[in-house]
A = this chain, B = another copy of it.
Amino acid sequence: MKKVRIGIIGAGRIGRVHAQSITNGIPQAEIVAISDPFMEAAKKAAETFGIPNTYSDYHEILNDPSINAVLICSPTNTHADIAMEAARAGKHIFCEKPIDTTVSKILETQKVIKESGVKMQIGFNRRFDHNFRRIRALTEEGKLGKVQIIKITSRDPEPPSPEYAKNSGGMFLDMTIHDFDMACFQAGSEVTEVFAVGAVTVDPEIGKAGDIDTAVITLRFENGAIAIIDNCRKAIYGYDQRVEVFGTNGSAIAENDTETTVKFSSKDSVCSDKPLYFFLERYMQSFGDEMRSFIDAIQNQTEVPVTIEDGLKPIKIAIAAKKSMLENRPVKLSEIQ
């Protein structure tokens, strides 16, 4: 089978993560170009991963007829526009989340994608995480029965700067969005209503910047399932990423991943490892697997596993959550257009 020829748009951290996944573990694909307005970043990545072409302007990637697919790893506010351009250029698209922070722009993108006939996969990598995927599989195999309650714990090891918080679109769009997607993924159903409680318990400066750093969100689904998400921008013991799905036939709980399985018993206690440090450590396997799925979908002309529709839902939920928090009432998803 012919290798899929890839162009990467954006040589920042996540662009390099995907470059590494492809270089080291996906022989079915090859990266032929990388672009970044900061040429230095593009060149450095090119050198590290042996990428032959570097550009400051991503249009050069779109204009290269030998390239089959692009990875959109640029800043969030450029995702939708680049995606539409790429679609019109006939490139398959892997786009980092979120597609956009507004519903209207995503709908516009969706229309263009549909017309162009290219594939578009959204970077909700956590769906590919070994632990969470296993839980979903247990549900799909019927081992958990009808899903009743979903619990997602998602806490970061360190808060962002207040400045970052200010420009992030708010914690729900920046951080919880992954958990909204995870809830949808595990529920296998549509969210109907959202109730969100937010607080500032970590850094008052984040509060002054107009954001929150702690939240508890309740989601109701069409199929009757209820999801609870709890978030905090800082857990002193590290990146806390757990999921529980409780159903009529059983429950499945994913504990944190750790570097080792060693238990150390001393005079004081029996200790084991803290969670893996942050998302690069915790989710590296999932980044590789989402990319592998994308390449597979292109080569085998199958459906991508995370569609633009999947990308839209968490945005709507995040907007509803913010509205719920501000108005202190449950918000129906149908209120969000």
Contacts and interface: CB of A to CB of B under 8 A. Distances in A.
A197 B236 CA distance: 31
Interface class of chain A by DSSP: mixed
Contacts of A274: 265, 268-270
A114 interface: no
Copies in the complex: 4
A127 interface: no
Contact of A224 (B201, B236, B259): B201
A145 to B, nearest CB: 8
Given A151-B230, A236-B248, 15 more contacts: A143-B266, A145-B236, A149-B232, A151-B153, A216-B218, A216-B228, A218-B218, A236-B266, A250-B266, A251-B264, A252-B262, A253-B262, A328-B330, A329-B329, A329-B330
B251 A265 contact: yes
Contact of A251 (B134, B240, B251): B240
Contacts of A214: 148-149, 226
A237 interface: yes
Interface of A: 23-25, 27, 48, 130-131, 134-135, 138, 143, 145-146, 148-149, 151, 153, 155, 195, 197, 199, 201-202, 214, 216, 218, 220, 224, 226, 228, 230, 232, 234-238, 240, 246, 248-257, 259-274, 328-330
B248 A254 contact: no
7 contacts: A24-B25, A131-B260, A151-B153, A199-B226, A216-B228, A237-B251, A265-B274
A262 to B, nearest CB: 5
Contact of A250 (B27, B130, B138, B237): B237
A307 B130 CA distance: 37
Nearest to A329: B329
Contacts of A195: 195, 197, 218, 330
A214 B248 CA distance: 11
A263 B252 contact: yes
A264 B248 contact: no
Contacts of A135: 262
A237 B251 CA distance: 8
A206 to B, nearest CB: 14
A204 to B, nearest CB: 12
A267 B248 contact: no
